[in-house]
Each structure stands twice: as C-alpha cells, then as structure tokens.
Chain A
Amino acid sequence: MLITLACMIGLSVVLLLTIKNFRPLKTAPEQTIAHIENLLPQTQCGQCGYLGCRPYAEAIANGEKINRCPPGGNRTIAALAQFMHTNILPLDSDAPPPPRSIAFIREEECIGCTKCIQACPVDAIVGAAKLMHTVIAAECTGCDLCVEPCPVDCIDMLPLTFALPVIDTPIPVIATDHASQFA
C-alpha cells in the first residue's frame, strides 16, 4: 500500500515536471543553430526571405538551402557547406551581390519622417520626427532596407571605403576560418 502510494506520488511529480518543462520539440539543437548564425553576415537584410540572420539560421538547420544569402556571397556559402557537410551551391540570385556599402542620408533633403528609422533592423539611424536623420556609419550593415521607405528618396548606398580597418597582421577572423573551427 505504502509502496503504491510512493510510486503514485513519484509518478505525479515526474509528470508535473515534464509538463512544466514541456516545449515544442526542436528538430535542430540550439548549438547548431548558433554556429550557423555565426557564419551568416548579420546584415539582417532579409534578402534570404527570412526576417533576419537568426531565422534563416534556424531554417538552414532544418533543411533550408544554404545559398540564399547575397551579402555573404560565395564565402558564406562555402563556410555553410563545410559546416553542414553539403555541396557548395551557386548563389540563389539573378544579380551578383552588390559591393558592401553603407547608407548615407542627404541631410539637407531629409524631411524627418522617421520611416527609415523604423525600417533599420539594427537601429543605426538616429533622428526624431520632423528633425533631420542621419546614419551611424559604424553600425550600418548596408542592408538596404531604409532606401525604399524614404518618401523623398534622400538615402544613397555608398561603397564602403573609408573607416576600413588597417590589416597588417594575418587575422583569424575570416568566415572560412570560423568554418574550419567547427568542422
């Protein structure tokens, strides 16, 4: 009798714990997703069809193709292929990836509508309603998402030339290096 009672209590405790910790089953472990996410350029541009690099990383972990990231280009594809143990695919895009650029607001033309501020996925635009906006160049990922919402067309995407770091020593921060660490 006592044993049965103890068993029942134990069972219910286990059951309760299970219910409390219940989450929908993920098909890919978090670690895999995090690794894939780190291989993506973090542009957050949505050109892959997902709402940012993290959602695309989740999709890749669950079987999405690895060739949908234009900003990452061939380097990212190669790194992803190595990590996912799949073949290298050509970039799924009609046009070649544009050169890395940053947004520049022609401030004299800005009317202060805040539309670009709302569009920026990394909050790299400062400004307030009816006041001039400007881009924090160091934070801009060049995702292009601010250009289309601008009603006065005062945003240019300029090639990244200045503010580039000076490379004088071989630095192990290249995407392919990351891949070799994980493979």
Chain B
Amino acid sequence: MNAPLWPMRGGITPPPNKQQSNAAPIRFAGIPPELIFPLSQRHSAAIPVVATGQQVLKGELIARAGDEFGAPLHASSSGEIIAIETRAIAHETAHTSRCIVLRTDGNDSWRERYPIVDFAQVDATQLIERIRHAGVIGAGGAGFPAARKLIGDKNQPQSISTLIINGAECEPYITADDRLMRERAHEIVQGIRVLQQILQPQKTLFGIEDEQADALTAMRAATIGTDIHVVAVPTLYPTGGEGQLIQVLTGNEVPAAGNPADIGVLCFNVGTAAAIYRAVVLDEPMLSRIVTISGRACSHNGNFEVLIGTPLPALLAQAGYNAAINTTLIAGGAMMGLPLKTADIPITKTSHCFIAGTAEEFPQLPAAQACIRCGYCSEVCPAALLPQQLYAHARAGNDLQLHAHHLFDCIECGACDFICPSHIPLAQQFRDAKHELRVLAFEQLQAPIAKQRFIAHQARTARQQQERELSRQQRLRNTAGLEPEAVPQPDTSTPAAEDNKKAAIQAAIARAKAKKAGAPQRPADDQHKP
C-alpha cells in the first residue's frame, strides 16, 4: 500500500511552531459589519458587476474575472454594496487596490442554490464550468484558478497520469490544512473524487507530512475503500512546494519553465479540494476559508473559518490580539510570509495564515554581512540553484547571468536565508530581481509600441496644428469679406514651397479684387496677433 518515496533536493528543518495553533478546533469567525473584496488578481483586475447601493445575497456574483488567470468574486454574506473604492491590501509591491465594500445585514441569506447529488453522472466539462463559476482558486497560496489548471492550455480536461493532493503543510506556524484534514476529511475526499471524475488519473497520491499524525490518521480513515493513497512524506521544509512534493511522490521533476502537467501530474491543495466539493456538490462559491492566527501577540491562537473579505482586525480581535506587544505582523508563514505594514487589510482567498509576533519571538535580525562563499545556501536549495552566484549577479544587475543561473526557477522558499551565516536576505533579493526583470520585459514589449504611438501622436498634433492654422486663416479672410476659395488646402504630398507660392498669388489676386470692390483692407496675418 505504501508508495515508494524519492528524496527531495536540499531542504531545512526550521522549528515547526505548530503547537500554538493546532490544538483547538476550527472556530467560525462570524459575520463582520463590513466585507472588503479587492479587485486586483494575478495579472488583471476583476470587473465589478454590482453598483453602489445594490442589495446582494450571499453567494451572488459581485465581480467577474478580468482574464483567464482571474476568478470571479462572490458576496460572502448578504447586505448592501456601499462603495467601490481604493483600500489597503496585502501585496508584495502594490499596497492598495480598488475594492468592493459590502455592508452586511447580518441575515446571511443565501441566493438560490442548485446542489448536484450525484456528480458521477455529470460531464467533466460541466464540472469544470461549475468550478470556474464558483471562483475556486488554489488555496495553497499562489491563487491559480482551479478551473484553468484543470483545462490547461488546450481548453479541454487535462490528460494526466497522477493526481497529487497536497496536504504537506511544511511552513512553520501554519496549521490551517492540518485542522481541515482532521475535521473535514469527508469534504476533502469528496473534492478529490470530483477531481478524479474530471481527470481520470491512473493513480491519486495524497501527501501529508509524517509529523502531522492526526491528519494522517483522519485522512487514512476517510479514504478507506477508495483509490486515494495517503502517503506520509518526510517532514522537511519545503516539501509542501508543488514541485518538491511531486518530486518526493513520483521521483519526476517538473521541467524548468514547465508545468506539472508536462510530466503528467496535477497537484491540488487540500483546501482547494474542499472548496471544489462545496462548489460542485453544494453549489457554494468560494466564500470562506480556514485561516491560522498564531504568534505570541494573540492570546487565543487557532484556526478560524473566515468569510472572504473579513477585515483582518476583526479576525485578530477574536484571537485576543494585543497590538501593544505586536512588533511583527506577517501574512503567510514564517518562511515565505509577507511582513505587513498595516493590519487594516481584508482576508482574501489566498490568506492562509497571519502571525502576530512579539519582539522576543521575532527578534531583529543581525545586519547582513558579506557573503563568505560557504555554499550552505546551494546545499539547502530545493531547486538546485546557486544562491550565492544569483546574489552576486542580482547585486550587479547582471541580467544575462541571472537568466543563465535560472533565477526564475527560484521558488522563494527562503531556505537559503535561513541557513545563511551572514544573515543575507537572499530570497528578498531574488524576489526584487525577478520583479525588476519582469518590469524590464514589460518595457521591452512596450517600447516599440510606445515608439509607434509617439510618432503617430506627433504626426497627429502636427496635422491638427496645420488644420487649426488653416481654419484660422480662413476665418480671417471670411471676416475680411474674402472668398473662401482663396484659402490654400492642406496638402503635404507636394513640395510645400510651391503650394505656398500659389496660395500667395491667389491671396494677392483676392486682395486686389477686394480692393477694387472697396472693402476695408487689413493685412490678414497681423490681425490676430496677441
């Protein structure tokens, strides 16, 4: 029954810090007075389909996806849309986004739902559509739309041999998936069955870290009699990374610049599987998720079922948050999390953990020293990169070398930071370098277009200038009582001097005629000078 395991490259064993939050059962965080839905998504912004003042029911669509990598948003409780405005969000580089703000009415009244009792009878394409319309995105953190993953680039259900379910929650502090597996194993299994129905894989492997004993027991019990193989994988950070888990479970490596589907594998997080069950079977869009609140600045750490859009302060308050002793607030885990400048942000579909740490829990890191070329970082790198080389090239801005050293294969796990004896913030450097190269690539794509548009703009402004000048002259002549035919027509094809000459002669003739007729004569060119 036990599937063979393959070793992962590199990896570290940071203190797990899971016991602070994994003891208590999942609590419902309640309906806050206000729900905030950021419109910014992976590559585009969702497009609101509601207006300010509109009443919405729970589960009603409020914004549709901006592109194929976006997902629709739904009202996670009933109430009134009170604003569509700019609010703070948790994001690496953007600190604000346009958001739909919903004032809840407390009734939590649902829109009509159409459950599917037996999804085995439903066509795969229809199941995928249902998942898409429910706005289900990867709950593991990257937020890739589940429906897009299922159809791939070919717009039909992917053909894969192995379905992998990721229950390896390797980041310190986070226990959301752990509690989900322990308490809602049935939902996860139903979700996996939907995925199996769509993908028809030859085998389904469910990876859980061997230290998550309770989750393993619960999932093993729930999968008895199914063809889902629950596999205990070694507890090593970052086993829960998609590529790493695939390597451990199948021995195959996702190619650089490739997708798991290239090697016949698709990987879904347990939270995504549960959301797929709710979307397909219960017709519930992705309206809530499990969020871990941990850290010593909160007295009641634990996991909460939180409505998407709940403001973080409202959630922190339920965990006994003490702002006075909180020095470090992190969205995500201790390794890959994003330090927050403000707590005033909403929970999104990808928020899986918030750590409110104290000064003694997260002491200030010693200042970074020079790289001593010890090479520890390349030993722990799960992507088999050379962080010390990347670091040098990133600092020197050597783009070609960054590409040659496969910067974009870095999964930003932070194992190199953790091991670095010089305390160099390597992962942050790589994140910044990636962003810079992306911006540069964007500019390179845009530059020729901008050049063309600039040339067109200049031509247009020159043409408009000429037209204005001509119509001005025409007006002058009209007020002087002259014949409009005397005005030269705009013509750029023939040499301008010749035209001007003709025009001058015509104008002179016209002037002479006018003089003969006895009309008052003023030199036209001087008339409108300021």
Contact = CB atoms under 8 A, between A and B. Distances in A.
Given A161-B94, A162-B45, A168-B257, A139 B440 contact: no
Contacts, number: 107
Given A41-B447, A121-B454, A158 B94 contact: yes
Interface of A: 37-38, 41-44, 52-54, 74-75, 100, 120-124, 138-139, 141, 158-171, 173-177
B404 A170 contact: yes
B450 A123 contact: no
B94 A165 contact: no
B445 A173 contact: yes
Bin chain B's interface residue count.
35 or more
Contact of A176 (B91, B258, B400, B446): B400
B44 A163 contact: yes
A164 B44 contact: no
B437 interface: yes
B528 interface: no
Contacts of A164: 43, 435, 438-439, 441-442
Nearest to B258: A168
A161 B442 contact: no
B397 A74 contact: yes
The interface residues of chain B, by DSSP majority, are classed as helix
B502 interface: no
Contact of B93 (A159, A168, A175): A159
A142 to B, nearest CB: 9
Contacts of A100: 439, 442-443
A165 B445 contact: yes
A96 to B, nearest CB: 13
29 contacts: A42-B446, A42-B448, A42-B454, A43-B450, A44-B450, A52-B454, A52-B458, A54-B454, A74-B397, A100-B442, A121-B457, A122-B457, A139-B450, A141-B450, A161-B92, A161-B93, A162-B45, A162-B94, A164-B43, A164-B435, A164-B441, A167-B408, A167-B438, A167-B441, A168-B256, A169-B257, A170-B403, A171-B403, A174-B444
A176 B441 CA distance: 12
Interface string B408-440: 100000000000000000000000001101111
A167 B92 CA distance: 17
Name the 3 nearest CB pairs between A and B, nearest first: A170-B403, A168-B257, A122-B453
Given A100-B443, A165-B441, A167-B408, A174 B399 contact: yes
A164 B94 CA distance: 13
B40 interface: yes
Nearest to A74: B397
B451 interface: yes
B449 interface: yes
Contacts of B444: 173-175
Contacts of B448: 42
Interface in B34-62: 40-45
Contact of A173 (B40, B91, B441): B441
